[in-house]
A = this chain, B = another copy of it.
């Protein structure tokens, strides 16, 4: 915490916002509800400060109490977040196209954007009896070992590619190391063919085919993929539907290349 020039209050109020967002940031997919004591511990905030912050966040609807009185992320935050262009906005534009693809495959259709060195899953349409996938909407995926990730990495700026390739990379969930040279060849092939194909053997064998979605400046803004059981799947059969759908979505986003 910064030392305030006068008294004990944070200068310019900035650290208060930081503490509030640290409190919100303590929530995760595996930690969706917390007591005040848990919030205090998770953020290293004294209980009295945590209580004061939590009260303001409750007031704004950024937090809510669940049936057991624990704090959870609030509906008002969700309402605000529905205005995020790269999250919900993109998802709204993409949903009808994803529906088309879903009706053709009846397994999983994924839409993801890049955020730093990861992909963020913006939407997933899944049949109830579809193969298990590891990712949830709002969750993060590795760039180097998923279909959508490979597409987003292949079209990222070269500096970012270099940074990702310099990291120790493994194929999740099998834990196999990834060779940077092989990954560079894969990325070149993704750019050349306009498609990424990825396979996963654990926990169940599946195949994913992914394609880039372009925006108004023709840059790649997202990646779209279908995920199907590996047995009997034929990437060449999935490719045309995926290409056509990604292109139609790109056109609806104003991509000059797709028009």
Contact = CB atoms under 8 A, between A and B. Distances in A.
A39 to B, nearest CB: 14
Given A7-B7, A92-B137, A127-B99, A74 B79 contact: no
A88 B103 CA distance: 23
Interface in A1-53: 6-7, 9-10, 12-14, 16-21, 24-25, 27-29, 32-33, 52-53
A217 interface: yes
A173 interface: no
B72 A84 contact: yes
Contact of A17 (B16, B73, B77, B217): B16
Contacts of A73: 80-81, 83-85, 87
Q: How large is the interface on A (under 10, 10 to 19, 20 to 34, 35 or more residues)?
A: 35 or more
A212 to B, nearest CB: 18
A86 B75 contact: yes
A66 interface: yes
Given A21-B62, A95-B125, A136-B92, A78 B81 contact: yes
Given A83-B27, A85-B73, A128-B96, A18 B56 contact: yes
A126 interface: yes
Contacts of A113: 75
Interface of A: 6-7, 9-10, 12-14, 16-21, 24-25, 27-29, 32-33, 52-53, 56-57, 60, 62, 64, 66-67, 72-89, 92, 95-96, 99, 102-103, 113, 115, 120, 125-128, 136-139, 216-217
